[in-house]
Amino acid sequence: MAIRNLVVAAFGLATTVNGFWRMECPGMTGLARVDPLVSPGEASTHVHALFGAGNLGFDSTADQIRDASCTSCAVPEDKSGYWQPALYFEHANGSIEYVSIQGDNGSGNAGLLAYYNQFNDNGTTESGIEPFPEGFRMIAGFSSLRSAPVGWTDAYTLTTDASIYGGQSQDVLQWAAIGFNCLFTDNRDAEPSFYRHYLPSIDEVEQLNCEGGLRTEIVFPSCWNGDDFNESDIHAHVKYPDLSETGACPEGYDTRLPTLMYEVVWEVASFIGMEGRLVLSNGDSTGFGMHADFINGWNQTILENALDQCHSESGQIRDCPVFDIVDKEIYEACKLTLPDAIADEQTFGLLSGLPGGVAITEPGEESDDPLVVNNEPEISATGSTDEPSTSAAQEPSTEAVESTVTPTPTPSSDPVINEPAATTEPPEPVDESISYSVVSTQYSTEGNKVYEIVWEEAWVYVTEELTSTVTVSSGPNKMRKARAKRGLSHHHRGIHGGH
Minimum mean pLDDT range among 92-96, 380-384, 412-416: 380-384
Q: Tell me: pLDDT of 105 over 90.
A: no
Amino acid at 248: A
Q: Which residue has the higher pLDDT, 181 or 149?
A: 181
Q: What does the alpha-carbon distance between residue 204 and residue 426 come to, in Å, rounded to a whole number?
A: 22
Query: Residues 6 or more apart from 40 whose CB is under 8 A from it?
Result: 58, 59, 231
- Edge-first strand listing for the sheet containing 2-6: 2-6, 449-460, 434-446
Mean pLDDT of 51-63: 93
Q: What does the alpha-carbon distance between residue 306 and residue 315 come to, in Å, rounded to a whole number?
A: 11
Q: Tell me: pLDDT of 429 over 60.
A: no
pLDDT given at position 292 = 97
Q: Which of 116-130, 158-172, 282-296 has the highest mean pLDDT?
A: 282-296
Nearest to 200 by CA among 278, 282, 116, 261: 278
Q: What does the alpha-carbon distance between residue 133 and residue 228 come to, in Å, rounded to a whole number?
A: 10
Query: Cβ distance 59 to 42 under 8 Å?
Result: no
- Reduced to 3 DSSP states, what percent helix, strand and coil does the chain have, rounded to the nearest 5? 10, 25, 65
What would the pLDDT profile of 471-498 be if each residue is shown by its tens digit? Answer: 333 333 322 222 232 333 333 333 443 3
What would the pLDDT profile of 303-349 be if each residue is shown by its tens digit? Answer: 999 999 998 888 999 999 999 999 988 998 999 999 999 999 999 99
Q: What does the alpha-carbon distance between residue 198 and residue 277 come to, in Å, rounded to a whole number?
A: 13
Q: Tell me: pLDDT of 209 over 80.
A: yes
Query: Residues 6 or more apart from 428 whose CB is under 8 A from it?
Result: none
